[in-house]
Structure 1
Amino acid sequence: MPEGLQRYVFVYGTLRRSGRNDINRLEPTPQFIGMGAVRGRLYHIDWYPGLTLGSDEAVDVVGEVYAIEPALEALLDGYEGIESGLDSEYFKRDLEIDVDGRAYPCLVYEANPAFVRGKTLIGHGDWILFSSGANSIS
């Protein structure tokens, strides 16, 4: 795929390496680009997290950036339960994410605020750290 048409995704939860649903086990295989972060709030929804972007109390939510093919994006959409309308659990957002000084235009799956209401806020922004037992919350 030509450079200008390449699609990237930022994963921050169970899709991260060593996560419950490691993206590297999916097909077509993504290409790891590097680590990045977005400003937002990370919530413990259930066995998986949800990210809301921005806010005055935002922290750096860490994740991984991957180059993906359209077929993998379609698979991820299904996995994240993307639906048209306001009832979708996640919404697709496009953000530039810095990886080693280079900005990548990334797809980010942002949680619907209605789905994180009343859920536990993960104060440090790292799902892997949280899910491994270092349950630092705020």
Structure 2
Amino acid sequence: MPQPPLADRHVFVYGTLRAGGSNDIARYHPRPQRVGDGVIAGTLYDLGPYPGAVLGGEGRIVGEVYRVTQDVEVELDLLEGVMADGSGEYLKRELDVMVGAARLRCLVYEIHPSRIEGRRSIDSGDWLIR
């Protein structure tokens, strides 16, 4: 028996997936719907052509929140190199993000800890204004 489609989810993007970025999330189909801007606790690292976030701590990371379909979520997992065993480039997490007055449960792609050794942090927490 076929499974019903999973509900749309929210994703917090902080790097090249942001509007105008080299992997602008608007290129996916069906087109993700922008919900608003958000900020999460974490540290942003410069990995060259893209950033990686380590969640938690005192720092803040600036990003955008989008509503995405399950199909787009699968594509994002591929782009971010998510592996079921946790060995991929990014780990898929879920956390609450404040978007205006609303608290939304969002997917966030956190860089695998092994990828940030020797990388500089982005003190502004904003990939677009490094």
Question: What is the TM-score with the length of structure 1 in the denominator?
Answer: 0.86
Question: Deviation at 1:26?
Answer: 1.4
Instruction: Using the TM superposition, give the Cα deviation of residue 92 of structure 1 relative to its aligned residue in structure 2, in angstroms.
Output: 0.5
Q: Which residue of 1 aligns with 2:102?
A: 102
Once residues 83 and 94 of structure 1 are traced to their aligned partners in structure 2, the CA distance between those partners, rounded to angstroms, is 16
1:85-127: CA deviation from partner (whole Å, max 9, x where unpaired): 2421100100010001100110000001110111111011000
Determine the C-alpha separation between the residues in 1 that align with 2:63 and 2:83: 24
Output the amino acid matched with 1:61: I
Which residue, out of 36, 39, 61, partners 2:38? 36
**Alignment correspondent of 1:88:** 88
Compute the TM-score of the two structures, normalised by the length of structure 2.
0.92
Partners in 2 of 1:46 and 1:124 — Cα distance?
16
Instruction: Please identify runs of 4+ aligned residues in structure 1 that moved more than 6 A.
Output: none
Instruction: From 3, 8, 24, give the equivalent of 2:10.
Output: 8
Give the superposed CA RMSD: 1.0
Question: How far 1:6 moved relative to its partner?
Answer: 3.4
- In structure 2, the gaps of 5 or more residues are 1-6
1:59 Cα deviation from its structure 2 partner: 1.5
Residue by residue over 1:12-49, the C-alpha shift from the partner in whole angstroms, topping out at 9 and shown as x without a partner, is: 00000011111011112000000001010000012000
Letter in 2 for 1:95: L
User: Between Structure 1 and Structure 2, how many residues are aligned?
Assistant: 124
How far off its partner does 1:81 sit?
0.5
**Counterpart-to-counterpart distance in 2, 1:72 and 1:47:** 22
Output the amino acid matched with 1:91: L
Between the aligned residues of both structures, percent identity stands at: 44
